Structure 1
């Protein structure tokens, strides 16, 4: 069973974490000051997807999906936070293929010192491209002054490093795209409350404000347009894959919990698992063809994600009907999961924004991200 495999993956790659998550109730795990992110870090989660050549475990994509499924089933907030770290690692490793070496050194440090990495690569602003950074870097002496805000930014409190796409604005040349690598302890890095929803609080999705943060030349990587677009494609493949796995895991956990409480009969349980397993197997097929992330890979994972948005909503509604109103009202677990599943629709890129680009792609034109 896929959920069983997911839990086994947690035991294998994050020893002790599942027991810690089970040691306190769901509400405490998901609370604003929950320790789940630090537990993930302490159990070795930071190095899971880092390649062995940098000192990491180098999980396969499918192993990474199973870990996210298991985390989603046990702690939705942790799954979202962990997924952001793993997405950041994937982006750094893609950049390391063509860089001068800074990313390689950082990846080695991440694996050796269990550093947690967050990302400021896209901003959820209506009618603005998620590929156009709102964070500005201006040359200053032997470095750059970086100013801007990323909200929401998961892992805001516990992150050690922030990777941020920036728009460099020189005085005498055209602006260009770059990636800044910023230590959380740098002067001018501030975290402000942003997440007011009563779910996913433990993911630490707050506002990270960069107020004239000095970044030396050595910590800012220039990225040419072609490489930047390819890095974005690869990054989005990983982001969509891990995010989809996280929400799929949440609904696996919901079905499992409802079954344990005797709220689902065998027929209802099997019907739910068939729908969830179909989605998981689609993700598995994608992971086995991820040696090179291309537009085809991205279109496949987006199709899987958008399909599962509908499937997970349907399964959640069907299970909640069987759970009943008293359990929904009296148990924070059920009401929290029901609300959380809707957040799946809001992760970039939203389905409505990609309909025209996907229509062009299905008409044998290039897939253009928005």
Structure 2
């Protein structure tokens, strides 16, 4: 697999995070991790986003992957604890390779076919975009077994040095530059049986492991965008406090119109921030059934698209200075637009919430029935 550029911001940042125990953040202390709560992880992701949003998104894929393994161990009490311990003690960075062309953000399906061989599987396919994949130690991915069986979707954790893996530098988005979300090409990659730690049915899964994992993904991702919005709010209030308006001596902050408009944005921001904290606390406390917490997490994720609108509103309050190529607020606006496409998208969230309300089977994709995609 091609190596990432060594002397870079992301390389230095990853090394610094590793030195301070970030890679083992949610890993229980019994397995040499930091034992951080979901709430603490969200707070850290929000702060990391204020330093660099792309870096936070890239590292969040590591956090999500560790969260999946953690939930597997919590629910199954199996040997997945060894993976957690290895990540924490060896400071292993995990790339999450679930995105594929044409999947629309679904993580319960795959176009990467895994053929059964002695001792494991041989998988071929393309994963993109895959954050920090070029500098990862391990890769968490899903694939579909060609065997005729019900639990045909496999989730594995494989070494990034596995033969047949190639990273193609394809990331060219207008924002989230440091997420390094490139393309992973798999050509006859061997995946040993003991590295497959989760199996389920493609397209449908109400297993607590998947449900809690999806909660991890939604709440930590939203925390990042809340961090972006918080930094943009700070920039805006500082600008309004010093910028004159209409050629006079009064600052923008002294006008009721600016105060009211800013207050409306703060109102929406606080609503999301508090909702994020509540979902994180619910995940930590585990007092409610996983499906109940998931419903709140999906509602949070869906509502978080408002951050993209809020960024535009903040830019309008600041005026033309925020439209410049070198404007820090413009850079944050570009980063924040990714919330519109970050899975699970609002369309998927709404369908899942609707099906849950109707008591129907939960699908993590825009299909009427799982069989529609299996045919």
TM-score range, shorter chain: 0.7 to 0.9
Alignment RMSD: 2.6
- Select the residue among 182, 189, 195 that pairs with 2:165: 189
- Relative distance call for 1:33 and 1:115 in structure 2 (3 A) is closer
Q: Distance in 1 between matches of 2:217 and 2:168?
A: 24
* Partner in structure 2 of residue 17 of structure 1: none
Quote the residue 1:72 is aligned against. Answer: 49
Helix, strand or coil for the counterpart of 1:115?
coil
1:57/1:100 CA distance change after superposition, 3 Å: closer
Count of aligned positions: 338
User: What's 2:232 paired with?
Assistant: 254
Q: What's 2:116 paired with?
A: 139
Structure 1 stretch 349-358 or stretch 230-239: which is displaced more? 349-358
Cα drift, residue 346 of structure 1: 0.6
**What are the superposed Cα offsets for residues 269-289 of structure 1, whole Å, 9 maximum, x if unpaired?**
554333212211111111221
Structure 1 residues 232-241 or 214-223, which shifts more? Answer: 214-223
1:240 equivalenced with 2:206 (yes/no):
no
Cα pair distance change 1:228/1:186, threshold 3 Å:
farther
Q: 1:83-139: per-residue Cα shift (whole Å, max 9, x none)? A: 111111110111223558442111101111111112123436256844112222222
- Confirm whether residue 325 of structure 1 aligns to residue 320 of structure 2: yes
CA distance in 2, matches of 1:51, 1:329: 45
Provide the C-alpha distance between the structure 1 equivalents of 2:29 and 2:82, rounded to a whole number of angstroms.
13
Q: Return the match for 1:200 from 176, 181, 184.
A: 176
What is the CA-CA distance between 1:364 and the residue it aligns to? 4.6
In the other structure, the counterpart of 1:223 is 199
Computing the radius of gyration from Cα coordinates, the structure with the larger value is: 2
Q: Classify the secondary structure of the residue corresponding to 2:144.
A: strand
Gaps of 5+ in 2: 1-7, 244-251, 366-375
Q: Are residues 251 and 34 of structure 1, via their aligned partners in 2, closer, same or farther at CA, if it must alter by over 3 Å? A: farther
Cα deviation, 1:227-267, whole Å, max 9, x if unaligned, reads: 77432221111101011110111011111123334356273
CA distance in 2, matches of 1:339, 1:282: 24
Distance 1:177 1:104 in 2: 22
Aligned mate of 1:359, from 350, 354, 375: 354
State the match for 1:117 in structure 2.
94
Moved more, 112-121 or 283-292: 283-292
Shift of 1:34: 6.3
CA distance in 1, matches of 2:350, 2:205: 25
The 10-residue stretch of structure 1 (49-58 or 220-229) with the greater mean CA deviation from structure 2: 220-229
1:363 Cα deviation from its structure 2 partner: 3.7
Q: Partners in 1 of 2:205 and 2:363 — Cα distance?
A: 15
CA distance in 2, matches of 1:43, 1:175: 38
* TM-aligned CA distance change 1:332 to 1:40, over 3 Å: farther
Partner residue of 2:300?
A: 304
Q: Is residue 50 of structure 1 aligned with residue 27 of structure 2? A: yes
Instruction: Please tell me whether the aligned partners of residues 95 and 231 of structure 1 are also in contact (alpha carbons under 8 angstroms).
Output: yes
- The CA distance in 2 between the partners of 1:118 and 1:128, in whole Å, is 16
Cα distance in 1, alignment partners of residues 272 and 35 from structure 2: 24
1:123 alignment partner, SS class: coil
Compared CA separation, residues 224 and 368, structure 1 to 2 (3 A): closer
Task: Please say if residues 74 and 253 of structure 1, whose CA atoms lie closer than 8 Å, have aligned partners that are also in contact.
Answer: no
Query: 2:105 touches 2:343 (CA, 8 Å); kept in 1?
Result: no
Contact in 2 for aligned 1:135/1:147 (Cα 8 Å): yes
